[in-house]
Amino acid sequence: MLRKIANRLMVAASLLIVPASLGAQASSSGMPVLHTNKAYVEETLAGSSLDVTKPDKVLDFVLSSLPPRVKVYPTENYFYFNFTNAGVRWTGNLRFDVETRDEGKVHMTYYKEFTGWQQQEDSDFTVIWDEAKGVKVERLAPLFYRVTKGNRSVEFELNDLSDVKPPEDVLRAGERYLGPVFDESGIRFFLVFNPDLKQFSYILDETVAVADELIETRVSPSLTVGRRTGFAFVKDRYAPRHILVGVYAGNIASNNYLDGPFDQLPDNFIKGDELRDAILTVSPEQAGTIDRYGNSEDGSVRYLIAPYMTYETIEELEAVTRCSEAEPLPHYYACFSVSVPGEGG
Does residue 16 sit within a domain? yes
153 with 226, same domain? Answer: no
Among 103, 132, 158, the domain boundary falls at 158
176 with 143, same domain? Answer: no
Helix (H, G, I), strand (E, B) or coil at 164: coil
Range of the domain at 153: 2-158
End-to-end CA gap in the chain = 7
208 with 148, same domain? Answer: no
Does residue 260 sit within a domain? yes
Q: What pLDDT score was predicted for residue 118?
A: 77
Does residue 341 sit within a domain? no
Q: What pLDDT score was predicted for residue 337?
A: 81
Cα 303 to the center of its chain, rounded Å: 14
Q: What pLDDT score was predicted for residue 8?
A: 36
- Residue 64 carries which DSSP code? H
148 with 184, same domain? Answer: no
Q: What pLDDT score was predicted for residue 345?
A: 37
Q: What is the pLDDT along the chain (345 residues), one digit of tens a residue?
A: 566 664 434 333 333 344 433 444 455 678 999 999 999 999 999 999 999 999 999 999 999 999 999 999 999 999 999 999 999 999 999 999 999 999 999 999 999 998 878 766 667 899 999 999 999 999 999 999 999 999 999 999 999 999 999 999 999 999 999 999 999 999 999 999 999 999 999 999 999 999 999 999 999 999 999 999 999 999 999 999 999 999 999 999 889 999 999 999 999 999 999 999 999 999 999 999 999 999 998 888 999 999 999 999 999 999 999 999 999 998 899 998 875 444 443
Among 137, 158, 179, the domain boundary falls at 158
Phi-psi region of 128 (alpha: psi -120 to 50; beta: other; left: phi over 0): beta
